[in-house]
Structure 1
């Protein structure tokens, strides 16, 4: 979005301050990495070393800027002293506002990525509930009573891009069933939400009932051993799955 925008566009003011901020941050990170004295000075002033982004992971840039926002909010004078010590221009008031708005807007996206990129305990059923709730959180940010000074167009652009990128996923029956059959989500991830985004609880109930009638979810049920069945019963009891199946079958 930034590369396609111009100075006169709605993103122009954000682009100007964000590029200026990132230029200062890049020099500051380099100073910390290249000078043990500067690194020690930063640690003495702030009690922490500055986080440095990893170019292969977008999240690392977000968390560095989040740390910067926290330092600018809590110890602004010490941050000024650090910039002076590094012979760099101080971070301006406008840049401080930009980093605050940026981290608030990108926070839900960063959290979603962190969750989906877990190496353990991650399943296909997480994807749609994550996208659904991410969309809802971005909706809330767009409808805040006080609009963002610099980052509103960034928020709107990210929101539209996510909807466009993942629109086809909501037509994938496998993803829908995976989400509704995951014991953590079931149908509750659609609870108390209006059907204004992609789907609703009633639609998911109908889909599950149709699949049950077709027998698609019972393919190997009768072939399981007694030992396997005993293990499944224990797991179903833990996640309260059996009660959900009973209710669904009763309503079919």
Structure 2
């Protein structure tokens, strides 16, 4: 089984790139990201620029790096928060640093980007954390990403292509696991998830998984009953040996006590 965290990274990076073939997303996204990258680069390369940013915004910007995809997501989330609460201050900073300021379309596309990418980023955080590092949490985590369908249905101005690219990537890379019986049972028997995640993701599969659970439980009970029966037969057939063993142990203990 492939590493789920690495697979989510591929969905968010490689598969998401398919959206760049759609002009409605590509043009405004690249325009907004170019301005953001210029601002991030100024902070990272110039102490003067970093001081100006801190003086105006009372904080530093979060900077993305090339090794972690979700660092770009985190950086855009912080930038969105600043644009929402301190947009005039940010524009003063960008004007002082001679950077083209963000327009309304830039703000819209970055907000939509963060909204669409949030389910994948949250899934990646859960998968990478120690608390969810077991098979039973995998399918519920994957299924939660399908809330992208609801986000898309509510209407996106620029990022519909991005949502479609992510959904296609999830289906391509995680589709076989969603149909895997072992993965389904691991989630279904988990007391936190049970079948709730499956009812949300695909309610048509609930009956089939429930029947599979019942069969597994029945098989386990039959096996346990058979083993208990064998144990009882073994005990009834070897009672004298058990008694002798107990006597030997008592005698050994008495000798040990006397020697002490």
- TM-score (norm. length: structure 1): 0.76
**Of 132, 145, 153, which residue of structure 2 is paired with 1:143?**
153
| CA displacement at 1:120 relative to structure 2 | 4.1
How many residues get paired? 213
Q: Which has the larger radius of gyration?
A: 2
CA distance in 1, matches of 2:65, 2:221: 44
| CA displacement at 1:44 relative to structure 2 | 2.0
Match status 1:214 vs 2:219: yes
Match status 1:174 vs 2:185: no
Counterpart in the other structure of 1:110: 121
Match status 1:157 vs 2:165: yes
- What is the root-mean-square deviation of aligned Cα atoms in Å? 2.6
Aligned 8 A contact 1:212 1:218 in 2: no
Match status 1:55 vs 2:60: no
Say if 1:218 and 1:149 are closer, same or farther in 2 by CA, change over 3 A.
farther
CA distance in 2, matches of 1:107, 1:160: 16
CA distance in 1, matches of 2:201, 2:109: 32
Match status 1:205 vs 2:210: yes
Match status 1:41 vs 2:52: yes
**Of 96, 100, 111, which residue of structure 1 is paired with 2:111?**
100
CA distance in 1, matches of 2:208, 2:92: 58
| CA displacement at 1:71 relative to structure 2 | 1.0
| CA displacement at 1:31 relative to structure 2 | 1.0
CA distance in 2, matches of 1:169, 1:121: 17
Counterpart in the other structure of 1:130: 141
For structure 2, the residue ranges without an aligned partner over 5 or more in a row are 1-14, 229-260
Say if 1:156 and 1:217 are closer, same or farther in 2 by CA, change over 3 A.
farther
For structure 1, the residue ranges without an aligned partner over 5 or more in a row are 224-252
| CA displacement at 1:156 relative to structure 2 | 1.8
